[in-house]
Amino acid sequence: MSLSPPMRSIQPMAENWLDERDKAILETIYYCENCNMVLEPGDSDIDQHKKELPHHKMRKVFIVRCGRCGNTVTDSHAQYSPEINQFWCKTCLAETGVQNFHAT
């Protein structure tokens, strides 16, 4: 009787870059469009929103570090390139062009 080899978790390549992308995210915060303010995890405002203000429009915001200039920006001001596995801020994208950004 032979034992079957231990199960290995085989991850499809396509999903790998998503993991890498998650690692590039420094912090996740929330932004309430109704209050027009940023809510940080652990903030009592978040609980208040969950319990009392569920109609408020909350948005998840990722804080990322630009791989080129090192500035921290929100994900709406940055783009991720799976090719170089980095977020770049819009300033850097504008300076170097999207073609360089996606170059391997």
Which one among 62, 65, 66, 86 touches Zn ion, defined by CB under 5 A?
A: 66
Q: Is 63 in the site for Zn ion (CB under 5 A)?
A: no
Q: Is 39 in the site for Zn ion (CB under 5 A)?
A: no
Contacts 24+ apart (CB under 8 A), 77-85: 80/21, 80/24, 82/17, 82/20, 82/21, 85/17, 85/20, 85/21, 85/24
Q: Number of residues interacting with Zn ion: please give it, by CB under 5 A.
A: 9
Considering only the stretches 2-10, 14-22, 24-32, 94-102, report the one whose residues sit in contact with Zn ion under the rule CB under 5 A.
Answer: 24-32
Asked if 81 and 57 touch (Cβ cutoff 8 Å), the reply is no
Q: Which stretches of the chain bind Zn ion, using CB under 5 A? A: 32, 34-35, 56, 66, 68-69, 89, 92
